[in-house]
């Protein structure tokens, strides 16, 4: 699987490259600044891009803007954004192309190798991988979520990370049937149409949380 990395910290960039190569990813380019990102993506057409939100020269949102610009040239490009801190506004920006694999993780998550690699693969496959801390902040900001029970809010938080029903059931130690019932209740209470597409379901929830 071809990967392009954009990360300005040399040690983390090298670490990501070595980590992904150890799991049979093909890192076709690793750039360290915003201006180099878009040309690398267009040239190499990766199956997933891992991009730091803040890149030189201004360290604001060059990475994010590069990812958004790349999607005009490469529709459907799966993008996993990395950030040093929780910045929910960037999660909103990523939802502008709901048909793409999308992820937003704190850099601390890289240290959990299995979780990180799983997130990369999920995003590359068109799925969603949102950081629990980002989801937590979004949940706190939404007063309408008061209509949900405590268990439903738990399920919603894990679902918004991009987890399958089986994964939610395993984490909460309940049955998949119970998870399905909770999700149906959540979507009904939030006035969202049901969907068989897990990624669309997650993106719909995130869009609601970001509204």
Asked whether residue 150 is domain-assigned, the answer is yes
Percent of the chain predicted with pLDDT > 70: 86
Res 141 pLDDT > 80 = no
- My answer on whether 48 and 85 are in the same domain is yes
- My answer on whether 126 and 148 are in the same domain is no
How many domains, in total, are found in the chain? 2
CATH of the domain at 42: 3.40.50.2300
CATH of the domain at 155: 1.10.10.10
- My answer on whether 113 and 206 are in the same domain is no
- My answer on whether 99 and 149 are in the same domain is no
User: How much is the average pLDDT of 154-176?
Assistant: 91
The pLDDT of residue 32 is 97
Asked whether residue 34 is domain-assigned, the answer is yes
CB 81 within 8 Å of CB 51: yes
- My answer on whether 95 and 184 are in the same domain is no
- My answer on whether 122 and 152 are in the same domain is no
- My answer on whether 20 and 120 are in the same domain is yes
- My answer on whether 109 and 153 are in the same domain is no
Res 98 pLDDT > 70 = no
Separation between Cα atoms, residue 63 and residue 206, nearest integer Å: 21
Domain that includes residue 199, residue range: 142-210
Among 128, 190, 139, residue whose Cα is nearest residue 161: 128
DSSP-derived secondary structure for 74-114: STT--EEEEESS--HHHHHHHTT-TTS-EEEEEGGGGGSHH
Asked whether residue 64 is domain-assigned, the answer is yes
- My answer on whether 84 and 184 are in the same domain is no
The pLDDT of residue 15 is 97
- My answer on whether 88 and 21 are in the same domain is yes
- My answer on whether 126 and 151 are in the same domain is no
The pLDDT of residue 96 is 59
Among 16, 87, 79, residue whose Cα is nearest residue 47: 79
To the question of pTM greater than 0.85 for the whole model, the response is no
């Amino acid at each position: 699987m071809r990967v392009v990395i954009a990360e300005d910290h040399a040690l983390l960039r090298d670490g990501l490259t070595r980590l992904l190569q150890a799991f049979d990813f093909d890192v076709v380019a690793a750039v360290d600044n915003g201006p180099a990102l878009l040309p690398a993506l267009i040239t190499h057409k990766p199956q997933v891009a891992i991009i730091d939100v803040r890149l030189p020269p201004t360290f604001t949102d060059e990475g994010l803007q590069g990812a958004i610009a790349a999607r005009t040239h490469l529709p459907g490009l799966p993008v996993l954004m990395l950030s040093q801190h929780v910045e929910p506004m960037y999660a909103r920006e990523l939802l502008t192309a709901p048909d793409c694999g999308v992820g937003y993780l704190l850099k601390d998550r890289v240290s959990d190798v299995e979780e990180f690699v799983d997130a990369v693969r999920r995003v590359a496959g068109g799925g969603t991988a949102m950081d629990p801390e980002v989801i937590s902040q979004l949940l706190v900001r939404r007063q309408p979520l008061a209509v949900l029970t405590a268990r439903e809010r738990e399920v919603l938080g894990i679902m918004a990370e991009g987890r399958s029903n089986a994964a939610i059931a395993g984490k909460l130690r309940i049955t998949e049937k119970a998870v399905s019932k909770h999700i149906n209740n959540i979507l009904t209470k939030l006035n969202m149409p049901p969907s068989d597409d897990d990624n669309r379901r997650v993106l719909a929830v995130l869009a609601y949380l970001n509204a």
